[in-house]
Amino acid sequence: MELVGNFSSHLGEGPFWDSVSERLLWVDILGKKILEHDFKNDVTMDRDVSGNPGCVVLADDETLVAAIDNGIFSINRSDGSVQRLVEADPIPRLRFNDGKCDEKGRLWVGTMDREERDPLGTLYCCSTEGNLEPAHAGVTVSNGVAWSTNNEELYYIDSPTRCVCAFNFDLSSGQIKDKRELIKFTEDDGFPDGMTTDSEGRLWIAFWGGSKVLCIDPGSRKIEGKIDFPVSKITSCAFGGDDLNQLFVTSARVEINEEKEPLAGRVFIVEPGVTGLESNRYLL
């Protein structure tokens, strides 16, 4: 197990691997920063933003797309210029949280109740034309999004439910339907948070309050692997590296005793013995 750079996030989330520049992107939601670690030069760069960034993806080599508070923005990587692309309902109690792009370049991103109490949020699909369409409402803390390798299922986490749900997914239209519970976790597991898919279609799920990432086969619904971490609040994960055989895992130091968990907030690198899938870009 290794560490990425020296930066410690208040609430690290949403790792995204840029295979072209060999950089890892992620957000510090409470620190109001977008981070990039350049592995060629072993340098971490931080970019301040005006609100709480829930996720960041790439559109092209020079353009980031980030969901910040209630808007989706493009950010020029070189000069830092920002352009609002989309605005969701301007409800102060809601903000965008985790998000990810499908193979057609649409951004799936959900909102959450900042108080983490009521199901006021929505999972949205932001089309490549910039249209924000509600896909699933009644969400409290919208989190992990992933797809089956054949793109016939979308997997989704609303953290307080302690469930991973599955929907039938139509890649062509971007429509989801027929929600069902895939797997339910216990209180001892913690809360499922962000997740990713490996090349064999298994889910790798981060657990807030669980100090771990679990590997789940969505077909058998069985646990096929477990990685333990020296911090309790594991938030998300993504595959990357030259051969996509490294798993980058983000964490948080919110309400943590930093003497007991000195590595809380850091990004970890593990090699789980499998390969993953490259992060999809937003088709701007």
Cβ contact 192:164 at 8 Å: yes
Measure CA 6 to chain center: 21
* Tens-digit pLDDT profile for residues 59-117: 999 999 999 999 999 999 989 899 999 988 778 899 999 999 999 999 999 999 999 99
- In 3D space, the residue among 93, 104, 100 whose CA is nearest the CA of residue 141 turns out to be 93
The closest of 85, 88, 84, 108 to 98, measured between CA atoms, is 108
What is the side-by-side order of every strand in the sheet holding 132-139?
94-101, 107-113, 121-126, 132-139
Query: Which residue reads 């799936």 in tokens?
Result: 108
Domain ranges of the chain: 2-270
Distance CA(105)–CA(240), nearest Å, equals 19
pLDDT in tens, 228-250: 999 999 999 999 999 999 999 99
pLDDT at 95: 95
pLDDT in tens, 120-138: 999 999 998 889 999 999 9
| Cα–Cα distance measured from residue 72 to residue 103, given in angstroms and rounded to the nearest whole number | 19
Q: Is 187 helix (H, G, I), strand (E, B) or coil?
A: helix
The Cα–Cα gap between 154 and 238 comes to 17
Tokens at residue 108, please? 């799936």
Start-to-end Cα distance in the chain: 36
Torsion angles phi and psi, residue 34, rounded to 5: -110, 130
What value does the CA radius of gyration of the chain take, rounded to a whole number of Å?
17
CATH ID of 2-270, from 2.120.10.30, 1.20.58.110, 3.40.50.2300, 3.10.350.10: 2.120.10.30
SS3 readout for 209-261? CCCEEEEEECCCCEEEEEEECCCCEEEEEEEECCCCCEEEEEEECCCCCCCCC
What value does the mean pLDDT take over residues 26-33?
A: 98
Q: What is the pLDDT of residue 91?
A: 82
DSSP letter (8 states) at residue 141: B
Cα(47)–Cα(58) distance, rounded to whole angstroms? Answer: 15
**For residues 282 and 108, what is the distance between their CA atoms, to the nearest angstrom?**
10
pLDDT value at residue 231: 98
CA distance 190 to 159: 9
pTM higher than 0.85: yes
CA 94 → CA 97, 163, 184, distances in Å?
9, 21, 26
For the ranges 14-23, 81-90, 102-111, 139-148, which has the lowest average pLDDT?
81-90
